[in-house]
Amino acid sequence: MLPYETMSEAAAALGRNLTAGETLWFHYTAAMPDYYIYYLTIVILFVVFSLVPLPFIVVELCFPSIISSFKLQPKTYLPFSSILHCYFSILRILILHVGPIQLFSYPVIKLIGIRTGLLLPSLWEIGLQLLVYFIVEDYVSYWIHRVMHHGWQHEKIHKVHHEYTAPMGFVAAYAHHAEVFIFSVPSFIGPAIVPGHMITFWLWIILRQMQGIEAHCGYNFPFSPTKVIPFYGGAEFHDYHHYIGGQSQSNFAPVFTYCDYIYGTDKGYRYYKAHISKI
């Protein structure tokens, strides 16, 4: 909730007129409690998980020949019933687990200093903070993911995510409820280190989930704009992790590839690529 009753009061406090973005933000948040603003994150997650994977799914089901040359596992096509099962499982996860995590994490958001004020962040601030969030989350998740592939934590928890050896977009969120909670923790570490505006936090949530969906889409599109991002793994890198099964000891990093290269967990992937190139 903003401490101004009118836009003129807000402009006087800022010492200038409001920008178009600030005007929109004022109309949306002026009389809205901060926890209502934060709870919009639940809606954002639902929309992203429901809509972003759909183009890949629709084209694969209705026009498979159009993108078949880009499919990473061309001999494997999931039936519609399997796709529906995955999606409704995700809905259950969102309602029973992700939703409550968001509801009860509001005090954490306030504690780490995510702001909802009228002075909106610049593009430079947003970009630099997002970079920190991605790097920090990627490094922490690499080690969590690596640990999850050993012992009981794999057999009892992480094994669920690997039920799909040929993933598609919805599989990004398909996991055991304990894993949903475990992997949600790294998402808060970056914002805790470099707290920003709620808008930046929403962009972080949206982009990270979109990245996860792309990594699980099952297709390697050479024209994807993510190809220009340094050390970006993408679908080809993560698809191999699913292809060789739940006992995989390779390709643990969720976004970038540098951790796997540094710690030597990319050797199987590099051998596989070399072998395929010879064929």
Least confident of 189-193, 223-227, 251-255, 275-279: 275-279
Q: CA of 231: how far to CAs of 217, 226, 237, 261, 262, in Å?
A: 19, 10, 11, 10, 12
Residue entry with tokens 């909802």: 116
- Where residue 101 falls among pLDDT bands split at 50, 70, 90? confident
Q: Give the pLDDT confidence score for residue 279 in this predicted structure.
A: 46
Is there a domain that residue 200 lies in? yes
Is there a domain that residue 99 lies in? yes
Is there a domain that residue 23 lies in? no
Q: Give the pLDDT confidence score for residue 3 in this predicted structure.
A: 78
Q: Please give the residue range of the domain that contains residue 133.
A: 33-278
Residue entry with tokens 């992203």: 48
- Work out the average pLDDT over 124-146: 97
Is there a domain that residue 121 lies in? yes
pTM (predicted TM-score): 0.92
- Where residue 88 falls among pLDDT bands split at 50, 70, 90? very high
Is there a domain that residue 3 lies in? no
Is there a domain that residue 151 lies in? yes
Q: In terms of Cα–Cα distance, which of 85, 264, 245, 169 is closest to 253?
A: 264
The total domain count for the chain is: 1
Task: Return d(Cα 217, Cα 236) in angstroms, integer.
Answer: 9
Is there a domain that residue 138 lies in? yes
Express each pLDDT in 31-60 by its tens digit: 888 889 999 999 999 999 999 999 888 888
Is there a domain that residue 115 lies in? yes
92: phi then psi, degrees, rounded to nearest 5: -65, -40
